[in-house]
Amino acid sequence: MKIFKLSDGILLQHQNVSYILRYEWNSLINRDKLFDYLTGILSVLDVITEDKASILISQSLLPPIGRQEVWAAGVTYLRSMEARMEESADSGAADLYDKVYAAERPELFFKSMPHRMAGHGQKVYIRRDSAWNVPEPELTLFINAKGNIQAYTIGNDMSSRSIEGENALYLPQAKIFERSAALGPCLYVPPEQAIAKDTAIKMTIHRNNTQVYEDETSIRRMKRSFTELAGYLYRECDFPDGSFLMTGTCLVPPNDFTLQEKDVVSISIDGIGNLVNTVSYKPHKTI
């Protein structure tokens, strides 16, 4: 089952039928047993045609987030650890990454407030003061206030490799800036609370209509479990509206690759869909 946040309501798709819900986003997604609740109300919802659903999605789709904070996990795949050890070799911080990969406690960091997020079809930004920028495709959990994973979405944890590589203490600047994170296009609510272990993640990057990067992998390669990450995040923090947790990147483009303005990043995850964003710089202030 998928739910799409629209500028005027919520679109639910289940077994090839589309429904419209007039519910408040935050209280709807924060329920326990979300899949059971949504299947229970299907009979009282308005059904719309497939054509109408496609028009609504193309014209009024928003990122699937309300008041939630967005957090991220790091170094949860071997590929991420290796890439970070390479980029930080000169700073002497390479050890941090293999230590955290092996440690019991995961790396978790704050990523974004809702107002900084991009949704499907919107621009993501790269920093003007960074020479080496990449997208990070990440399966993203929606965890409700009780700490239970209810849904999944696609995340892009846009990152500056030059800033993080220069000094690991610069991580917040490498990670947090306007439109440095994208979520979408929908929330996938599975019948059981776990997504399939062999779920594939694929990323392509196009420049001037030519594909300049393509790779894919499976979430099976992740070192940690989703419940482990959620458990650490909720240990000493409350999230009254729930939270989003990006689970770490599994794909890193080669070291000679950096994003450019107008590149198109497309991330697809089995069962969820496709998150597409065009790369840009934050416009200069006009005041």
Residues that bind ligand DO4 (CB under 6 A): 72, 74-75, 80, 84, 107, 136, 157, 171, 248-249
Long-range contacts of 281-286 (CB under 8 A, 24+ apart): 281/125, 281/126, 281/128, 282/125, 282/128, 282/177, 282/178, 282/179
Residue with tokens 């590929």: 79
Separation between Cα atoms, residue 51 and residue 58, nearest integer Å: 11
User: Least Å distance between CB 12 and ligand DO4?
Assistant: 30
Exactly one of 140, 249, 266, 277 binds Mg ion (CB under 5 A); that residue is 249
CB 162, CB 216: distance < 8 Å: no
Give yes or no for residue 69 binding Mg ion (CB under 5 A). Answer: no
**How many residues lie near Mg ion (CB under 5 A)?**
3
Per CB under 5 A, which region of 55-63, 101-109, 122-130, 245-253 contacts Mg ion? 245-253
Q: Which does 166 bind (CB under 5 to 8 A by kind): Mg ion, ligand DO4, none?
A: none
Closer CB to ligand DO4, residue 169 or residue 194?
169
Q: Which does 263 bind (CB under 5 to 8 A by kind): ligand DO4, Mg ion, none?
A: none
- Residue 15 CB: number of other CB atoms within 10 A? 7
Closer CB to Mg ion, residue 26 or residue 217?
217
Give yes or no for residue 136 binding Mg ion (CB under 5 A). Answer: yes
Give yes or no for residue 157 binding Mg ion (CB under 5 A). Answer: yes
Closer CB to Mg ion, residue 57 or residue 272?
272
Give yes or no for residue 76 binding Mg ion (CB under 5 A). Answer: no
What are the helix and strand counts (H, E) for the chain? Answer: 8, 18
The sheet carrying 264-269 orders its strands as: 123-126, 273-281, 264-269, 200-207, 210-218
Closer CB to ligand DO4, residue 19 or residue 253?
253
Separation between Cα atoms, residue 165 and residue 162, nearest integer Å: 5
Per CB under 5 A, which region of 44-52, 107-115, 157-165, 203-211 contacts Mg ion? 157-165
User: Least Å distance between CB 177 and ligand DO4?
Assistant: 14
In this structure, the chain runs to a length of 287
User: Least Å distance between CB 248 and Mg ion?
Assistant: 6
Could you tell me the sign of the dihedral formed by the alpha carbons of 79, 82, 87, 93, in that order?
A: positive
Site residues, Mg ion (CB under 5 A)? 136, 157, 249
